[in-house]
Amino acid sequence: MQTWQLQEAKAKFSDLVRQTVHSPQTITVRGEPVAVLLSIKKYRSITKPRQNLCDFLQSSPLADVNIDLSRDQSANIREVDL
């Protein structure tokens, strides 16, 4: 990620925008990071709505597969002293 001082970012704005294709660009004021400029592709990947887990599982190709989730009662369970 390249860092630009605000004055340089204003003077070379076209170059700054072009560089976002390669990586996000940090803009600083008095040496402190104050902003990040991203490509639209990166911005959309970060802000796209995420599917919740329930919807994801329901849309899975394995949604109709019956899986036995009952516990195996024949397994030896060891008790632990606390």
For residue 54, tell me if it sits in a domain. Answer: yes
Note the pLDDT of residue 62. 80
Q: What is the mean pLDDT of residues 8-35?
A: 97
For residue 80, tell me if it sits in a domain. Answer: no
The predicted model scores a pTM of 0.60
Note the pLDDT of residue 42. 95
Note the pLDDT of residue 55. 86
**Better-scored residue on pLDDT, 58 or 11:** 11
For residue 77, tell me if it sits in a domain. Answer: no
Q: Are 16 and 35 in contact, with CB atoms under 8 Å apart? A: no
Query: What angle (nearest 5°) sits at the alpha carbon of residue 33, between those of residues 4 and 45?
Result: 85
Say whether pLDDT at 4 is over 90. yes
CATH number of the domain bearing residue 43: 3.40.1620.10
- Domain of residue 28, residue span: 2-58
For residue 47, tell me if it sits in a domain. Answer: yes
For residue 73, tell me if it sits in a domain. Answer: no
Q: Which pair of structure tokens corresponds to residue 17? A: 């925008």
Domain count, the chain: 1
For residue 38, tell me if it sits in a domain. Answer: yes
